[in-house]
Amino acid sequence: MPVLGRVGIWAGDFDTLPAAGIRHAAATIEDLGYGALWLPELMGREAIAQAAILLAATRRITVAAGMTDIYARDAVTAAAAQRTLDEAFPGRFLLGLWDSHPSLAEEIRGHRFGAPVATMRSYLGALDAAPFGPPATMALPDRVLAALEPGMLALAAERAQGATVQGMPVEYTRTARKALGDDRLLAVTQLCVLSHDREAAAELARTTAAAALPNRRDLLRRLGYEAPEALDARLVDALVAHGRAEDIAHRVQQHLDAGADHVSLHLVAIPGSPSEPQWRQLATHIPR
């Protein structure tokens, strides 16, 4: 398993930067001591190609394609891509597979969206069976599943080296750890708004929580948030860590104490606030 360290950065805004910009950003994140750089795959850059760019621009940091869409490439191509990067950058690339979203799979990519757990199980079987050229003795590289629902967490425990859980409260980190068991990686992504202006931070945190709510509403009810659609202050705070660097560092520690092995920070910036100073400020506070 690639070494992730305790805290990484979720690069949710890299698709807005030019290629030279993401190379510089990746090198900066590495120099600041973060253990991993996580990438999504939505409608911007292709995930494996972008991971290759970032691996080539850095020396030691782990690059994790944390939401590689299983509808974006067949399993043979995914296996070949993963093994190619594992051969070229040993121990530095982690593949995280995502079951996508109906609108992305059908309206954007032109596929028929299948039942998530069954479709992922089938994809994993095809991934394991996929051929690959020399060196023929290469072991299958590690993988994790992007998982929220209990069924996907159970599949991650059975057929992967762990799971990555996006944008959920600390209470759910405890649930995910129980589902995975003690011998699987649990990486969680924490939504964050960093600002000394608490009013502005709270306003952006609420907007961010509202955007995250649709895919999490039922899970939040099971955690005891009886009316998540109301987005009260307690729920907003549970979903989005906001305020000073110390506040975000405290939330990171809560996830680690609840059973996470690694926490990636998804910084949602107040308009006009560049990311690099925020990475630097957080780097002096995060647990090591």
Q: What is the 3-state secondary structure (H, E, C) of 195-254?
A: CCCHHHHHHHHHHHHHHHCCCCHHHHHHCCCCCHHHCCHHHHHHHEEEECHHHHHHHHHH
Residue 159 — φ and ψ, nearest 5°?
-125, 10
Evaluate whether residue 211 is within a structural domain.
Answer: no
Beta bridge partners of 63: 37, 93
pLDDT at 273: 67
Q: Which two tokens mark 288?
A: 């090591």
Helix crossing, 275-283 with 19-31: angle to 10°?
A: 10
Tens digits of residue pLDDT in 24-71: 999 999 999 999 999 999 888 999 999 999 999 999 999 999 999 999
Evaluate whether residue 80 is within a structural domain.
Answer: yes
Total tally of structural domains belonging to the chain? 1
Tens digits of residue pLDDT in 182-230: 999 999 999 999 988 888 889 999 999 999 999 899 999 999 998 899 9
Tens digits of residue pLDDT in 103-137: 888 898 899 999 999 999 999 999 999 987 666 55
Tens digits of residue pLDDT in 6-20: 999 999 889 889 999
CA dihedral sign, ordered 64, 121, 88, 48: negative
Evaluate whether residue 210 is within a structural domain.
Answer: no
Domain that holds residue 27: 7-199+242-283
- 66 and 96 in contact (C-beta within 8 Å)? yes
- Residue 79: closest CA among 116, 125, 44, 33: 125
Evaluate whether residue 164 is within a structural domain.
Answer: yes
Evaluate whether residue 221 is within a structural domain.
Answer: no
Evaluate whether residue 216 is within a structural domain.
Answer: no
Evaluate whether residue 27 is within a structural domain.
Answer: yes
The C-alpha atoms of residue 188 and residue 210 are separated, in whole angstroms, by: 19
SS3 at position 187 = strand
CATH value at residue 114: 3.20.20.30
- pLDDT over 60 at 176, yes or no: yes
Evaluate whether residue 189 is within a structural domain.
Answer: yes
The C-alpha atoms of residue 115 and residue 279 are separated, in whole angstroms, by: 38
Neighbour tally for 20: CB within 10 Å: 9
- The average confidence (pLDDT) of the chain is 93
Confidence of residue 102 (pLDDT cuts 50, 70, 90): confident
